C-alpha cells in the first residue's frame, strides 16, 4: 500500500472531528425543540453524525493514523466555531444545521473528486442524509410563513454563521498549509479556485431562497 | 389484529422516552470525557439509544399509538431522575450508565417474557450493547485500581442512583396503576414479585463487585 498522503489524513481527521463536534452541538440543540417529535428528530440527526464519525475513525486507523492525534489539531477551530454560533432558539438551531451542513456537504463533494476511489466513496457516503435537510427546510419555511418577521432575524443569523465559518476555515488553512495547498492546487488544476467559491456561494444562496431567507 | 393492550403501549412508550432521555444525558456527559477517544465512545453509546428510540417509535405507530402522546406521561419522572443524578465527572457519568443500563436491561429482560413474540423480540433487541458496558466496566475498574479512594465515592454515588431510580419507578407505578398491575400480576403468576426484586438486586450487586464497588 502506498504511504497515505498526510493531507488526506488531515482531511479525514477534520471531517471526523467535525462529526463529533456536530453531534455534541445538535444533541444539545435538541433541548430547544418545541415538542418531543421535533426533539427526537434533531436527536436522530445528531446520532447519524456518530455513525459517520465511526466510519471515518475506522478509515483513519486503516491508514495507520492515530485518530485522536490527527483530530486534535482541528479541535480548537471547530469548537470556536460552535461556541461563537450558539443557537438561542429552535429556529436558529435548525438554520445552523441547514446552512452549515449544506455548505459542508457541497465542499466535501467537491473535494471528494480529488481523492482515491475508496476515500472518495467514504466521503460521499458520510454526507448528510437529505431527509434531515428536508425536515429543517420544511420547519424553517413554515415558521417564516407564520411569522414573516422571523425571516430577517434568521437571514442575519445565517450571515453570521457563514462569516464565522469562513473565518475558522481560513484559520484551519493557515494552520495546515499542506492541506490547504493540496486542496487548492487540485482544485486549481481541474477548474479554478474562484469557480469553486462561486459554486459554493450559488448553492448556498439557492438553499437560503428555498426557505425564504435572504443572502 | 387484536386491540393492543394499553399497558403494552405504556411499556413501549416508557422504554422509548427512556432512550430519548438517555441519549440527551449521555450526549451531555460525553463532554466530561478526559480525551477524544473516550468522548467518542460515550457519544456513540448515546447515538445507539436513538437507533433504538426510532425502532420503538415505529412500533408504537404500528400499534396505532401517537408516540408523543403516549410518551408524555413519563417525561416528568425520567427528567427528574436525570436532573437529580447529574454526574459531576467522567467516572460518575460512566457509573451512571453502567449501573442504570444494567438494572434497566435486567428489568426489561424479565418483562419481555410477558409480551407477545413481536414485542418480546423488539424489547430484547433494544437492550444495550454489551460492549458499552464492558467499556464502562473497564474504565471504572482501572480508575479504582489507580486511586482506591475513588471506590468509596462511586459506591455512594451508585447507591444514590439506585435510590433515586427506585423512587421514580414507584412514582411511575403510582401514576400508571394499569401498567404496574399488568407487570406485577404477570410476574406474580410466573414466579413471585419478591423473586423478581431478588434477582434484580443480585445481578446489580454482582455488577458492582465486578468493578470494585460495594453495594
- pLDDT tens digits, B162-182: 999 988 888 888 888 878 877
Judging contacts by C-beta atoms under 8 Å, the chain A residues touching residue B44 are 50, 53-54
pLDDT band at A30 (very low <50, low <70, confident <90, very high): very high
Among chain A residues, the shortest Cα distance to B40 is held by A20
Give the C-alpha separation, B82 to B160, whole Å. Answer: 12
Helix count and strand count (H, E) for chain A: 9, 0
**A39 touches B: beta carbon within 8 Å:** yes
Q: Which residue of A has its CA nearest to B44?
A: A50
Q: Look at A44 and B54 and tell me if their CB atoms are within 8 Å.
A: yes
Rg (alpha carbons) of chain A, rounded to whole number: 17
pLDDT grade for B58, boundaries at 50, 70 and 90: very high
Categorize the per-residue pLDDT at A189 as very low, low, confident or very high, splitting at 50, 70 and 90.
low
Mark yes or no for CB contact B39/A20 under 8 Å: yes
d(CA A49, CA B47): 9
Contact B27 A27 (CB under 8 A): yes
Q: How far apart are CA A32 and CA A16, in angstroms?
A: 25
The C-alpha atoms of residue B164 and residue B100 are separated, in whole angstroms, by 11
pLDDT tens digits, A1-29: 567 778 889 999 999 999 999 999 999 99
Which of the pair, B15 or A114, is modelled with greater confidence? B15
How much is the mean pLDDT over chain B? 90
Q: Determine which of B18, B31, B35, B47 to mutate to test the interface with A (most A C-beta atoms within 10 Å).
A: B47
pLDDT-derived band at B188 (thresholds 50, 70, 90) equals low
Express each pLDDT in A82-122 by its tens digit: 999 999 999 999 999 999 989 999 988 888 888 889 999 99
Q: How many contacts does A have with B, using Cβ atoms within 8 A? A: 81
If contacts are CB pairs under 8 Å, which of residues 88-117 in chain A contact chain B? none
Minimum distance, in Å, between the CA of residue A76 and any CA atom of chain B:
13
Contacts of B48 in chain A (CB under 8 A): 47
- pLDDT score, position A17: 95
Interface predicted TM-score (ipTM): 0.80
Residue in the structure block whose three cell numbers are 456518530: A50
Residue A73 predicted with pLDDT over 80: yes
pLDDT number for residue A191? 61
Q: Is the pLDDT of residue B84 over 90?
A: yes
Q: Does B69 touch chain A (CB under 8 A)?
A: no
DSSP output for B57-80: HHHHHHTT--HHHHHHHHHHHHHH
Inform me whether the C-beta atom of residue B71 falls under 8 Å from chain A C-beta atoms: yes
DSSP code string of B172-203? HHHH-HHHHHHHHHHHHHHS-HHHHHHHHHHH
pTM over 0.90: no
Q: How far is it, in rounded angstroms, from Cα B126 to Cα B70? A: 19
- List the single residue in B with minimal CA-CA distance to A24: B27
Which residues of chain A neighbour B72 with C-beta distances below 8 Å? 36
Q: Give the mean model confidence (pLDDT) for residues A131-136.
A: 89
Residue of A nearest to B36 (CA): A68
Amino acid at each position: 500500500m502506498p504511504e497515505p498522503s498526510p493531507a488526506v489524513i488531515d482531511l479525514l481527521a477534520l471531517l471526523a472531528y467535525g462529526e463529533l463536534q456536530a453531534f455534541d452541538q445538535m444533541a444539545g440543540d435538541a433541548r430547544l425543540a418545541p415538542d418531543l417529535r421535533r426533539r427526537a428528530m434533531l436527536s436522530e440527526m445528531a446520532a447519524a453524525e456518530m455513525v459517520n464519525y465511526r466510519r471515518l475513525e475506522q478509515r483513519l486507523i486503516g491508514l495507520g493514523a492515530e485518530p485522536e492525534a490527527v483530530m486534535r489539531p482541528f479541535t480548537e477551530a471547530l469548537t470556536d466555531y460552535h461556541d461563537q454560533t450558539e443557537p438561542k432558539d429552535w429556529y436558529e438551531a435548525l438554520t445552523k444545521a441547514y446552512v452549515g451542513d449544506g455548505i459542508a456537504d457541497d465542499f466535501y463533494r467537491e473535494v471528494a473528486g480529488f481523492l482515491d476511489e475508496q476515500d472518495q466513496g467514504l466521503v460521499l457516503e458520510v454526507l448528510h442524509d437529505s431527509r434531515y435537510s428536508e425536515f429543517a427546510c420544511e420547519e424553517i419555511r413554515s415558521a417564516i410563513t407564520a411569522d414573516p418577521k422571523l425571516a430577517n432575524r434568521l437571514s442575519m443569523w445565517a450571515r453570521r454563521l457563514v462569516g464565522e465559518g469562513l473565518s475558522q476555515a481560513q484559520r484551519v488553512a493557515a494552520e495546515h498549509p499542506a492541506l490547504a495547498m493540496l486542496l487548492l492546487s487540485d482544485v486549481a488544476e481541474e477548474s479554478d479556485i474562484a469557480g469553486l467559491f462561486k459554486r459554493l456561494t450559488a448553492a448556498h444562496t439557492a438553499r437560503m431562497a428555498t426557505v425564504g431567507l435572504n443572502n
